[in-house]
Amino acid sequence: MADGDAAATARPKTRIGAANIDRILDAALTAFAGHGLRGTRIEQIAEAAGMSKTNLLYYFRSKDDLYRAVLTRMLDIWLKPLRELDAARGPEASLTAYIEQKLEHSRRFPEASRLFAIEIMQGAPHLSHVLETELAELVDRKIGIVNGWIAEGRLAPMDPRHLLFMIWATTQHYADFATQIRALTGKGLEDEAFFGETRQAVVGVILRGVLTR
Amino acid sequence: MADGDAAATARPKTRIGAANIDRILDAALTAFAGHGLRGTRIEQIAEAAGMSKTNLLYYFRSKDDLYRAVLTRMLDIWLKPLRELDAARGPEASLTAYIEQKLEHSRRFPEASRLFAIEIMQGAPHLSHVLETELAELVDRKIGIVNGWIAEGRLAPMDPRHLLFMIWATTQHYADFATQIRALTGKGLEDEAFFGETRQAVVGVILRGVLTR
Amino acid sequence: MADGDAAATARPKTRIGAANIDRILDAALTAFAGHGLRGTRIEQIAEAAGMSKTNLLYYFRSKDDLYRAVLTRMLDIWLKPLRELDAARGPEASLTAYIEQKLEHSRRFPEASRLFAIEIMQGAPHLSHVLETELAELVDRKIGIVNGWIAEGRLAPMDPRHLLFMIWATTQHYADFATQIRALTGKGLEDEAFFGETRQAVVGVILRGVLTR
Amino acid sequence: MADGDAAATARPKTRIGAANIDRILDAALTAFAGHGLRGTRIEQIAEAAGMSKTNLLYYFRSKDDLYRAVLTRMLDIWLKPLRELDAARGPEASLTAYIEQKLEHSRRFPEASRLFAIEIMQGAPHLSHVLETELAELVDRKIGIVNGWIAEGRLAPMDPRHLLFMIWATTQHYADFATQIRALTGKGLEDEAFFGETRQAVVGVILRGVLTR
DNA sequence: TATGAATGAGACTTCATTCAT
DNA sequence: TATGAATGAAGTCTCATTCAT
């Protein structure tokens, strides 16, 4: 109670700023994912965030700053599923969980998925460093787990990186190519039935494809 | 008659024009795939094509015209592999051939792949019509083939569209996310060994994943 | 009474304000002399004065206000040497003293010198009134002194105003063109030896140039 | 005749560009000398040059480019009088000629004089290199001449650089402080009588000040 | 076909200033 | 007195497009 009170009264200024920053970042994510960096106007974002262009620039010195902030903010979310991939439960359960998490991400953060996709397709000018360091190290660690399963004969022998690529590709596809999928099926992941069907198909094919037996 | 003749004798000017148009389209593909529609400057393309901006605009009235021309030119190439998917050889051979063709495409036309990917991710503003008509009809036809195989018990039961999506996702991933793949493996599809390894992995997982037995 | 008392006991707040105003004016002089009116940002001055931009604007309603305040504050200093030029000691001593005072000013207040120089070069938009009234009257008075000396045959006949211009020009040059002088000699008036040498040269040439005999 | 014709017809495009560039540089000189770099708007210059802002930017990529171009264009004019100072005619004639040339320059190019003055007062950010190399070398050479005269006993002993500074100061003053001079005398160098009187005063004082006898 | 010149509609920033606290 | 937040009016520069040759 006391805590709640304090929170409600103690930091009015900070609160205002933080709320605005969140609104800006949300609006920016949508805009950048939809039109790319160059194709997005600052004013567009400002309008969506409910403030003036100049005020937005009070919080973020430049468009590029804002773009980087959006990428950074999404980075943890983006890397989280892979971080949680572990060996504890054996390949079937672990891979199933990983694929399901990735699909869940595609459902909940499709714009973030598209933002990263576009960024990478354009040569990852703002992200190459992360790819080469943080992601590379993370992947190296996870590869060990998969190689362990292969050595135990529980997975078909293959370079584990191709397995990762295939999981990324298939799960992200439902976010990145949602427009195409909707044109061909009339549905998207937000449709509960379609989501379940998708999960079953993707998990099914990949697990049958890699598990021995 | 005269007209036909003229066309047949290939007037130098026309030829020159045709060569220029090709150079422009090539340069434009690279530029648009690399920076998106808005992120690309006409002058950039003109320079890459070895001519002045004004002269480029003599061939294509506007940037949007040029963009549409690039998309159109790539469309047949993009749809060709799916068109060639047939029932004649049975699921194993047919799907293998299809996947290999798609990978071959990712190797040979990575920029085209990225161009379509970006276009679709941004809502396919120039392509939605094609998706809803030409592609939808083509997919409908091919679905019949796959459903036939499923009915014969040769493929695991599933909505054939998910199979298509998975094949598209995995094969195109090697073109679209080439930057990321290179950051993690140091290689790309142009590397013969890596290409073979990729093909084996993708074909292997998917076939094992969908073929019964 | 209470009011008077309070004022007399120097309320801390008032004192603080006065100190702030001085800090602002100092910082503003440096900034305006270095970048001109338009070339100076308020925030720059505020930072140099150790306060927020908004707070600076609490003391000076606008940038132009501040600029005028700086000019006004420097005006007395600027005019002081000429005010002190008198006939009492004869031309040699009086002119020597005047030149030395002007040089001393160039040494102590080079920024003020540059501020006035830039203002005048740009047409004296904020100073034309002063030039035409206060300065003109002062000059008129001093001209009488010089004309007296000429009439007595102690100075070569000339329009006294040219003499004033030459003294102003030569003495202020060492402040205004300090950058150039430093590039050519490696020194400035703050160097005691260079100052002495300069004084000797300027006084020597001008006195020999105007004194008869 | 033939020549005139050729000139009139042969280089239309180049001519147009060159004429525009001259018009721009003229307008820019006036503007920069009057308001400084920051205080001048590109549009202002464009208007004075009789063209659109965008067209001006077709010739000069940026405001800074234009500013540098103006400085560069004026540099030769600015250095010319000193270059022509020679020993051939003895100190009296040579110094007289030099002073007169400098005054003539102040009459003909007062804006250039002010431009350089403002630039130097602000620390010569675009000119420091020239000051330290080209001008320094030129001055070094001319100092030799003056030292020669001093050694011959024809000039009072002094560091020749102070002599140069005094000549620069006094002659440029009539251009740089024209506003003040006009406020105090009602005249300027464009007034033939005032010019003559000024020349006589400046030459007179300096020569009497430095020549022995 | 080909290009230099010219332009208008943006789009990003900067900056003095005001508001609210 | 002091400051964070907010804004509008510039001002620079970019870029697709048109004009004239």
pLDDT-above-70 percentage for chain B: 92
Q: How confident is the model at residue D17 (pLDDT cuts 50, 70, 90)?
A: confident
Confidence category of residue B13, pLDDT binned at 50, 70, 90: low
**Do D210 and C206 make contact, defined as CB atoms within 8 angstroms?**
no
Test D37 with C34 for CB contact under 8 angstroms: no
Q: Is the pLDDT of residue B26 over 70?
A: yes
pLDDT at position C15 is 65
B207 at interface of A, judged by CB pairs closer than 8 A: yes
Quick check: is C12 in a domain? yes
Asked if the structure places residue B78 within a domain, the reply is: no
Task: Report pLDDT for B15.
Answer: 67
Q: CA B203, CA C3: separation in Å to the nearest integer?
A: 93
Q: What pLDDT does residue A14 have?
A: 57
Q: What is the CATH number of the domain that holds B11?
A: 1.10.10.60
Q: How far is B177 from chain A (nearest CA, A)?
A: 6
CA of A28 to C1' of F9 (A): 25
- C18-69 tens-digit pLDDT: 899 999 999 999 999 999 999 999 999 999 999 999 999 999 999 999 999 9
Q: CA at A7, C1' at F3: how many angstroms apart? A: 21
Q: Alpha-carbon distance D56 to D63, whole Å? A: 10
Residue D117 belongs to some domain of the structure: yes
Q: Which sign does the torsion angle of CA C158, C160, C164, C169 carry? A: negative
Chains A and C, touching by 3 or more CB pairs within 8 angstroms: no
Place of tokens 């105090």: D184
**Residue D39 CB-half CA count within 13 A:** 20
**What tens digit of pLDDT does each residue of D77-86 get?**
999 999 999 9
Q: How many angstroms separate the CA of residue B17 from the nearest CA in chain A?
A: 30
- Domain span at residue C172? 84-210
pLDDT at C9: 45
Q: Which site among C115, C165, C198, C211 would you substitute to test the D interface, given the most D Cβ atoms closer than 10 Å to its Cβ?
A: C165
Tell me what percent of the residues of chain D surpass a pLDDT of 70. Answer: 93
Give residues 78 to 137 of C whose Cβ lies within 8 Å of D: 114, 117-118, 120-124, 128, 131-132, 135-136
In this prediction, residue B17 has a pLDDT band, given cuts at 50, 70 and 90, of confident
Per-residue b or e along D196-206, where b marks 16 or more CB atoms closer than 10 Å to that residue's CB:
ebbbebbbbbb
Q: Alpha carbon D21 to chain centroid distance?
A: 20
| CA-to-CA separations, D179 to B124, B194, C142, C143, D186, in angstroms, rounded | 65, 78, 20, 19, 9
What's the pLDDT tens digit per position in C69-94? 999 999 999 999 999 999 889 999 99
Same domain, A56 and A18: yes
What pLDDT is recorded for position C5? 43
Span CA (C64) to C1' (E10), Å: 32
**Is C136–D180 a contact, with Cβ atoms under 8 angstroms apart?**
no
Q: Do B33 and A131 touch (CB under 8 A)?
A: no
**B127 and B167 assigned to the same domain:** yes
User: A36: distance to nearest CA of chain B, Å?
Assistant: 8
- A17 shares a domain with A95: no
At A172-187, the pLDDT tens digits run 999 999 999 999 999 9
Overall average pLDDT of the B113-128 stretch:
97
Please, what is the average pLDDT of chain D? 93
Does A156 share its domain with A61?
Answer: no
Instruction: Please provide the average confidence, as pLDDT, over all residues in chain C.
Output: 93
Chain A residue with minimal CA distance to B139?
A184
Asked if C202 and C103 touch (Cβ cutoff 8 Å), the reply is yes
Q: Which residues of A touch B121 (CB under 8 A)?
A: 33, 114, 117-118, 176-177, 179
**CB D179 to CB C114 under 8 A?**
no
Ranges of residues in chain A with a pLDDT under 70 are 1-15
Q: Which chains touch B (3 or more CB pairs under 8 A)?
A: A
Chain C residue with minimal CA distance to D176?
C121
Under an 8 A CB cutoff, do B169 and A177 touch?
yes
Residue D7 lies inside a defined structural domain of this protein: yes
Pick the closest to residue A198 from C42, A177, D166 (CA basis).
Answer: A177
Q: Are residues C128 and C180 in the same domain?
A: yes
Which nucleotide lies nearest residue C17, CA to C1'? Answer: F1
What pLDDT is attached to residue D55?
97
Mark yes or no for CB contact D158/C204 under 8 Å. yes
Tokens of D118: 């403002």
Q: Residues 137-166, chain D: which have Cβ within 8 Å of C? A: 139, 156, 158-159, 161-163, 165-166
Same structural domain for residues B100 and B181?
A: yes
Same-domain pairing of B190 and B98:
yes
Encoded tokens for C192: 């005691």
Q: Is residue A75 part of a domain?
A: no
Within this chain, do residues C42 and C119 fall inside the same structural domain, yes or no? no
Q: Which nucleotide is nearest to C57 (CA to C1')?
A: E17
Query: Which bases on strand F have an atom closer than 7 Å to a protein beta carbon?
Result: 1-21
Q: Helix (H, G, I), strand (E, B), or coil: what is residue D30? A: helix
B52-CA/E2-C1' distance, Å: 8
- Which of D67, D93, D120 lies at the terminal end of a domain, its last residue? D67
Nucleotide nearest to D13 (CA to C1'): E4
Rg (CA), chain D: 20
3-state secondary structure of C212: coil
Report the CATH number at residue B159.
Answer: 1.10.357.10
Distance F17 C1' – D54 CA (angstroms): 13
- Nearest nucleotide to the CA of D54, by C1', is E7
Closest residue to E7 by CA to C1' distance? Answer: D54
Residue at which a domain ends, from D67, D93, D123: D67
Residue A16 touches partner B, C-beta closer than 8 Å: no
Contact B156, B95 (CB under 8 A): no
Judged by CB atoms closer than 8 Å, whether chains meet at C121 and D114 is answered as yes
Mutate one of A44, A129, A146, A184 to test the B interface: name it (highest B CB count within 10 A). A184
Is position D79 within any domain?
A: no
A-chain residues near B173 (CB < 8 A): 165-166, 168-169
Residue D162 and residue C35: Cβ atoms within 8 Å? no
Using the predicted structure, report yes or no on whether residue B11 has a pLDDT greater than 90: no
Listed in sequence order, the residues at least 6 apart from D188 whose beta carbon sits closer than 8 Å to its beta carbon are D174, D178, D181, D182, D194
Which chain C residues touch D38 with a CB distance below 8 Å?
35-36, 38-39
> Are D57 and D93 contained in the same domain?
no
Average pLDDT over residues B94-121: 98
User: Which residue among A131, A176, A184 places its CB closest to the CB of B161?
Assistant: A184
Contact predicate A66/A45, CB 8 Å: yes
Nearest to B185 among A38, A161, A204 (CB): A161
> Which chains neighbour C (Cβ–Cβ under 8 Å, 3 or more pairs)?
D
Nearest by CB to C173, from D35, D169, D209: name it.
D169
Q: How confident is the model at residue C14 (pLDDT cuts 50, 70, 90)?
A: low
DSSP assignment of A53-86: HHHHHHHSSSHHHHHHHHHHHHHHHHHHHHHH--
State how far the Cα of D29 lies from the Cα of D36, in Å rounded to an integer.
10
Q: Inform me whether the C-beta atom of residue A37 falls under 8 Å from chain B C-beta atoms.
A: yes
Which DSSP symbol is given to C147?
Answer: H
> Model pTM?
0.91
In a domain, B74, yes or no: no
* Mean of pLDDT over chain B: 93
Residue C76 covered by a domain: no
The domain tally of chain C equals 2
Nearest residue to F18, CA vs C1'? B54
Residue nearest to nucleotide E15 (CA to C1'): C41
Q: What is the pLDDT of residue B25?
A: 98
Which bases along strand E come within 7 Å of a protein CB atom? 1-21
pLDDT at D3 over 70: no
Please tell me the predicted confidence (pLDDT) of residue A11. 40
User: Other CB atoms closer than 10 Å to residue A192's CB: what's the count?
Assistant: 9
- Give percent of chain C above pLDDT 90: 90
Four-residue CA torsion sign, B110, B116, B120, B125: positive
CA A62 → C1' E13, Å? 8
CB within 8 Å: D169 and C165: no
Q: Are there at least 3 beta-carbon pairs closer than 8 Å between B and A?
A: yes
Biggest alpha carbon distance in chain A?
Answer: 62
CA distance C181 to A202: 78
Among C92, C94, C31, C98, smallest CA distance to C60 is for C31
Which chains form contacts with chain D, at 3 or more CB pairs under 8 Å?
A: C
Residues A121 and A199 in one domain: yes
Least trusted range by pLDDT, from A23-32, B36-45, B84-93, B201-210: B84-93
* pLDDT in the model for residue C213: 73
Average pLDDT over residues D170-189: 98
Q: Does the beta-carbon distance from A206 to B202 stay under 8 Å? A: no
Q: Which residues pair with C155 in a beta bridge?
A: C211
Q: Could you tell me if B102 and B203 lie in one domain? A: yes
Q: Which residues of A touch B177 (CB under 8 A)?
A: 117, 120-121, 165, 168-169
Same domain for A39 and A134, yes or no, is no
